[in-house]
């Protein structure tokens, strides 16, 4: 199973990617996390990426493609994977299609989370991040145990510079301009639009219905794991 998750900043892709990964026992792969890992490890790709991003530039398609191919070629990916944040441009999508075809891999199922702009602004403006481990919280829906303190390392949480309302609107506009052609590219039988304005649990239910059931799912049809580990009824 190969799943591509699309949606603007703040739509909840990370939450849904984690759910799919747990449900189908496949890795969730975020390009943002790949960049951070490569930079931290000081690999040649990481050094190139860090240098470009430090100057405010966008990492080129060739570097992004190589990072993704390296990751999905790892031993934990033979049963499939979830990609969050890739492909981001049409050239990346065309490269990825060619890669899958060359390797004889199945075409991906595409989940496109659609959320109203006002909802996105509200969600993103209430986000907080740990400057040390980079974990992201939300003061309304995923708050830390101690207010404004990271659960992992005790660092004081911050508001990211790009999480202000003015910057959020700029990011949304940029997302539409860059990713719009990718969405058009993937529209077809395996493309699904999902209303992301609802609660995470409601979105999980719909995604679970859209994805092909795994054998374990067939044996346990009553519910899916909620964000807190409880079961969500599929009734």
Distances (CA, A) of 75 to 11, 26, 98: 30, 11, 21
Residue of 90, 171, 190, 198 with catalytic role: 171
SS3 64: helix
Instruction: Decide if 222 is catalytic.
Output: no
Reported as type and span, the H/E element at residue 201 is helix 200-210
Instruction: Decide if 123 is catalytic.
Output: no
Residue of 23, 127, 128, 205 with catalytic role: 127
Residue of 13, 23, 128, 205 with catalytic role: 13
Instruction: Decide if 160 is catalytic.
Output: yes
Cis upstream peptide for 87 (omega within 30°): yes
Q: How far apart are CA 233 and CA 225, in angstroms?
A: 9
Residue of 88, 123, 128, 205 with catalytic role: 88
* 68, 34 contact by CB (below 8 A): yes
Residue of 135, 160, 190, 198 with catalytic role: 160
Instruction: Decide if 171 is catalytic.
Output: yes
Query: What residues are annotated to the active site?
Result: 13, 88, 127, 160, 171
């Amino acid at each position: 199973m190969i799943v591509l998750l699309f949606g603007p900043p703040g739509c909840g892709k990370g939450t849904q990617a984690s759910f799919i990964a747990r449900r189908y026992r496949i890795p969730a792969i975020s390009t943002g996390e790949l960049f951070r890992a490569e930079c931290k490890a000081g690999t040649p790709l990481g050094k190139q990426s860090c240098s470009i991003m430090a100057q405010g530039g966008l990492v080129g398609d060739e570097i992004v493609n190589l990072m993704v191919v390296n990751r999905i070629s790892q031993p934990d990916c033979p049963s499939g994977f979830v990609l969050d944040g890739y492909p981001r441009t049409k050239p990346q999508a065309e490269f990825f299609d060619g890669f899958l075809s060359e390797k004889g891999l199945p075409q991906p199922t595409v989940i496109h989370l659609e959320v109203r702009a006002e909802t996105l602004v509200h969600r993103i403006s209430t986000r907080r991040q740990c400057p040390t481990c980079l974990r992201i919280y939300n003061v309304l829906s995923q708050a830390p145990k101690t207010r404004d303190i990271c659960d992992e390392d005790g660092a004081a949480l911050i508001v990211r510079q790009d999480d202000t309302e003015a910057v959020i609107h700029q990011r949304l506009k940029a997302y539409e301009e860059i990713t719009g052609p990718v969405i058009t590219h993937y529209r077809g039988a395996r493309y699904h639009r999902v209303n992301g304005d609802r609660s995470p649990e409601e979105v999980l239910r719909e995604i679970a219905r859209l994805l092909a059931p795994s054998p374990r799912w067939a044996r346990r049809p009553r519910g899916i794991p909620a964000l807190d580990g409880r079961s969500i009824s599929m009734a």
